Structure 1
Amino acid sequence: MFGDFFLIIFGMALGAAGGYALHRYVNSKRLADSQGLADRIVQEARKEAEAMKKEIRLQAQDEVYALKKEQENEYKEMERGLRKQEARLQEKEERLEKKLEKVANKESEVVTLEKRMIKQEKKLEDLREGLERRKDEHERKLQEVSGLTVEEARDKLMTEIESRTRHEAAKMVRSIEMEAKEEGSRKARKILALAIQRYSGDYVNEQTVTAVALPSEDMKGRIIGREGRNIRALEAATGVDLIIDDTPETVVLSAYSPLRREVAKQALERLIHDGRIHPARIEDIVNKVEQEMDVKLREIGEQATFDVGVHGIHPEIVKLIGQLQYRTSFSQNVLQHSLEVAFLCGIMAAELGMDEKMAKRAGLLHDIGKAVDHEIEGPHAVIGADLAKKHGESKEIIHAIQAHHEDVPPLSILATLVQAADSLSGARPGARKELLENYVKRLEELENVATGFDGVSKAYAIQAGREIRVMVDAEKVTDDNTHMLCKDIATKIENNMTYPGQIRVTVIRERRSVGYAK
Structure 2
Amino acid sequence: MEVFPIESLIFAIPGLIIGVFVGYFIRRYIGEGKIKNAEELAKKITEDAVKDGEARKKELLLEAKEEIHRSRNDIEREIRERRNEIQKLERRLQNKEEAIDRRNEAIEKKEENLNKKLRNLEDKEEAVDALYLKQTQELERLSGLSSDEAKELLLNETRKEIVQESAMMIKEMEAKAKEEADKKAREIISTTIQRVAADHVAETTVTVVALPNDEMKGRIIGREGRNIRTLETLTGIDLIIDDTPEAVVLSGFDPIRREVARIALEKLIVDGRIHPARIEEMVEKARKEVENTIKEAGEQAAFDAAVHGLHPEIIKLLGRLKYRTSYGQNVLKHSVEVSQLAGIIAAEIGADVKIARRGGLLHDLGKAVDHEIEGPHVAIGVDLARRYKESKDVLHCMEAHHGDVEPQTVEAVLVQAADAISAARPGARRETLEAYIKRLEKLEEIANSFPGVERSFAIQAGREIRIMVKPEDITEAQIIHTARDIVKKIESELDYPGQIKVNVIRETRAIEYAK
Give me the whole-angstrom Cα distance separating, in 1, the residues matched to 2:93 and 2:393: 71
Q: Does 1:287 align with 2:288?
A: no
Aligned to 1:170: 171
After superposition, the Cα gap between the structure-2 partners of 1:145 and 1:43, relative to the gap in structure 1 and judged at 3 Å, is closer
Shifted more, 207-216 versus 231-240: the winner is 207-216
CA shift digits 1:382-404 (9 cap, x unpaired) = 857987x89xxxx9xx9889857
1:27 Cα shift? 0.5
Q: Does 1:63 align with 2:67?
A: yes
Give me the whole-angstrom Cα distance separating, in 2, the residues matched to 1:87 and 1:308: 81
Which AA in structure 2 matches 1:260?
R
Match of 1:13 among 3, 12, 17: 17
Which AA in structure 2 matches 1:172?
M
1:55 Cα shift? 3.1
Aligned to 1:327: 324
1:35 Cα shift? 0.8
1:29 Cα shift? 0.8
After superposition, the Cα gap between the structure-2 partners of 1:130 and 1:9, relative to the gap in structure 1 and judged at 3 Å, is farther
1:204 partner SS: coil
Calculate the aligned-residue CA RMSD, in Å.
Answer: 6.1
Equivalent residues in 2 for 1:277-426, closer than 5 Å: 280=277, 282-294=279-291, 323-337=320-334, 369=365, 372-374=368-370, 378=379, 380=381, 383=384, 403=397, 423-426=420-423
After superposition, the Cα gap between the structure-2 partners of 1:437 and 1:121, relative to the gap in structure 1 and judged at 3 Å, is farther
CA shift digits 1:73-127 (9 cap, x unpaired) = 3444444444434433443343333333334333433444454455456557767
Aligned to 1:492: none
After superposition, the Cα gap between the structure-2 partners of 1:99 and 1:233, relative to the gap in structure 1 and judged at 3 Å, is same
1:429 partner SS: coil
1:22 Cα shift? 0.8
CA shift digits 1:138-160 (9 cap, x unpaired) = 999479999xx96x997897677
After superposition, the Cα gap between the structure-2 partners of 1:65 and 1:340, relative to the gap in structure 1 and judged at 3 Å, is closer
Task: Work out whether residues 339 and 364 of structure 1, in 8 Å CA contact, stay in contact via their aligned partners in 2.
Answer: yes
Task: Work out whether residues 230 and 277 of structure 1, in 8 Å CA contact, stay in contact via their aligned partners in 2.
Answer: yes
Give me the whole-angstrom Cα distance separating, in 1, the residues matched to 2:101 and 2:307: 88
Q: Does 1:203 align with 2:200?
A: yes
Instruction: Give the number of equivalent residue pairs.
Output: 413
Which AA in structure 1 matches 2:50?
R
After superposition, the Cα gap between the structure-2 partners of 1:436 and 1:29, relative to the gap in structure 1 and judged at 3 Å, is closer
After superposition, the Cα gap between the structure-2 partners of 1:406 and 1:162, relative to the gap in structure 1 and judged at 3 Å, is same
Equivalent residues in 2 for 1:72-471, closer than 5 Å: 72-113=76-117, 115-116=119-120, 119=123, 141=145, 161-162=162-163, 164-176=165-177, 178=179, 189=187, 193=190, 196-197=193-194, 200-208=197-205, 233-240=230-237, 242=238, 253-255=251-253, 257-265=254-262, 267=264, 280=277, 282-294=279-291, 323-337=320-334, 369=365, 372-374=368-370, 378=379, 380=381, 383=384, 403=397, 423-434=420-431
1:4 Cα shift? 0.5
Aligned to 2:462: none
After superposition, the Cα gap between the structure-2 partners of 1:196 and 1:136, relative to the gap in structure 1 and judged at 3 Å, is same
CA shift digits 1:279-326 (9 cap, x unpaired) = 545433422432444465577679889999999999988876664432
Give me the whole-angstrom Cα distance separating, in 2, the residues matched to 1:75 and 1:322: 87
Give me the whole-angstrom Cα distance separating, in 2, the residues matched to 1:310 and 1:50: 108
Which AA in structure 1 matches 2:284?
N
After superposition, the Cα gap between the structure-2 partners of 1:37 and 1:339, relative to the gap in structure 1 and judged at 3 Å, is closer
1:6 Cα shift? 3.2
Task: Work out whether residues 230 and 279 of structure 2, in 8 Å CA contact, stay in contact via their aligned partners in 1.
Answer: yes
Give me the whole-angstrom Cα distance separating, in 2, the residues matched to 1:110 and 1:312: 68
Q: What is the percent sequence identity of the aligned residues?
A: 36
Give me the whole-angstrom Cα distance separating, in 2, the residues matched to 1:261 and 1:54: 114
Give me the whole-angstrom Cα distance separating, in 2, the residues matched to 1:312 and 1:93: 70
After superposition, the Cα gap between the structure-2 partners of 1:43 and 1:281, relative to the gap in structure 1 and judged at 3 Å, is same
Task: Work out whether residues 294 and 320 of structure 2, in 8 Å CA contact, stay in contact via their aligned partners in 1.
Answer: yes
Which AA in structure 2 matches 1:6?
I
Task: Work out whether residues 404 and 416 of structure 1, in 8 Å CA contact, stay in contact via their aligned partners in 2.
Answer: no
Task: Work out whether residues 385 and 402 of structure 1, in 8 Å CA contact, stay in contact via their aligned partners in 2.
Answer: no
Which AA in structure 2 matches 1:433?
R
Aligned to 2:496: none
Task: Work out whether residues 423 and 429 of structure 2, in 8 Å CA contact, stay in contact via their aligned partners in 1.
Answer: yes
Which AA in structure 2 matches 1:54?
K
Q: Any gaps of 5 or more consecutive residues in structure 2?
A: 402-406, 436-515
CA shift digits 1:37-69 (9 cap, x unpaired) = 211222222222223333333333333333334
Give me the whole-angstrom Cα distance separating, in 1, the residues matched to 2:39 and 2:427: 145
Which AA in structure 1 matches 2:45?
I
Which AA in structure 1 matches 2:168?
H
After superposition, the Cα gap between the structure-2 partners of 1:131 and 1:330, relative to the gap in structure 1 and judged at 3 Å, is farther
Give me the whole-angstrom Cα distance separating, in 1, the residues matched to 2:87 and 2:168: 87
Task: Work out whether residues 224 and 231 of structure 1, in 8 Å CA contact, stay in contact via their aligned partners in 2.
Answer: no
Q: Does 1:32 align with 2:36?
A: yes
Task: Work out whether residues 258 and 326 of structure 1, in 8 Å CA contact, stay in contact via their aligned partners in 2.
Answer: yes
1:205 Cα shift? 1.5
Q: Does 1:41 align with 2:39?
A: no
Give me the whole-angstrom Cα distance separating, in 2, the residues matched to 1:297 and 1:104: 84
Aligned to 1:441: none
Q: Does 1:51 align with 2:55?
A: yes
Aligned to 1:495: none
Which AA in structure 2 matches 1:92?
K
Give me the whole-angstrom Cα distance separating, in 2, the residues matched to 1:84 and 1:306: 81
